[in-house]
Amino acid sequence: MKALVWKEKGKVELCDRPMPKIVDSRDAIVRVTRASICSSDLHIIHGTVPRAKEGVVLGHEFVGEVVEAGGAVRRFRPGDRVAVNVESFCGECFFCKHGYVNNCVEGGWELGCRIDGGQAEYVRVPTADQSFTRIPEGVSDEDALFVGDVLATGYWAAQIGEIAPASTALVLGAGPTGLCTMMSARLYSPAKIIAVDVSDERLALAKAKGLCDVTLNPKRDDVLCAVRALTEGRGADRVFEVAGAKNTFELAWQAARPNAVVVVVALYAEAQSIPLQLMYGKNLTFKTGGVDANSCGDIMKLVETKQLDTSLMITHRAPLNDILTGYDIFGNQKDGCIKWVVTPYERN
């Protein structure tokens, strides 16, 4: 089969790989029907994800059809359409039983990082009963594609942000994670969502789709002054840092009002400074981390009922044959690319 393999820092190749096989009774084999390229894939390629293993097949954001299930798999059978959670977890360890599935002693971010992922024709998925979310009839593969990763990240960010009705939410970054954070934040009825990004195109999309109320571009706007002007001088009630750029963490805590919640879901290539002496008296609450797989079932229901719609993010679509082109366009934000969807490999 064909698969995209991370060879070494800065190098990926579309290669021939053996078909995956079940190695644990809890495994399932999935025929990938849709995948996408994620910014986390870029972090792996650039060598900024220490846990990633060279030689791994990339891809952790994908959906497909179960073609084989191990003997211990109880909830899914061949023919089932599933969205795959980026986080693998056993459901039995201390962390899983307390709801901290990201910290599962057997799992965590495995697919496309430490074990072969979904930018391939087929993939072995561990702990299938916990790793899959069933795709309902009437929900397309592309509608469900982002449930297990980027949409789950945005949903989780909004959830832990404790957004109150009539509050002001500031979202730093209007890329895929930022857009998913905004649409999830809307579920909590804030009075105002302020989006910040250096791309006018992405800001315009967020505004046009009703995901935000105000847009700011730090290339021309004084973001701190603007946020304070929009909040009677207080600062934002809730701040979501999803950009991960050089100065965005600093901007996040500076733009927050005293006693605000600052949610950090960004991945950083460099260490960040927390100047506690400057924060003293603001009494901020910081919440950090990545995607949480606990809510994928709830998210799928919201997708099914059209309360969450990620179709606006899909700007490009091409078969696995062209995935290297996809990495160039997505990674360099060419041609207005927000999300590149990978369709199955095409043989002549």
From 165, 122, 132, 108, select the one nearest 30 (Cα to Cα). 122
CB 38 within 8 A of CB 61: yes
For residue 73, what are the contacts with CB-CB under 8 A and spacing of at least 6?
25, 26, 27, 28, 128, 129
Instruction: List the beta strands (DSSP E) in 222-292.
Output: 236-241, 256-264, 285-288
Output the pLDDT for position 285: 97
- Flag residues of the chain having pLDDT under 50: none
The domain spans of the chain are: 2-149+292-343, 152-288
- Cα 160 to Cα 169: distance, rounded to the nearest angstrom: 13
Identical fold for domains 2-149+292-343 and 152-288, yes or no, is no
- Cα 25 to Cα 16: distance, rounded to the nearest angstrom: 26
The CATH T-level fold of domain 152-288 is Rossmann fold (3.40.50)
Taking CA atoms, 105 is separated from 53, 91, 116, in Å, by 18, 10, 19
pLDDT in tens, 289-315: 778 888 999 999 999 999 999 999 999
The CATH T-level fold of domain 2-149+292-343 is Quinone Oxidoreductase; Chain A, domain 1 (3.90.180)
Output the pLDDT for position 267: 81
Output the pLDDT for position 348: 83
- Cα 345 to Cα 122: distance, rounded to the nearest angstrom: 11
pLDDT in tens, 156-213: 999 999 999 999 999 999 999 999 999 999 999 999 999 999 999 999 999 999 999 9
Output the pLDDT for position 269: 78
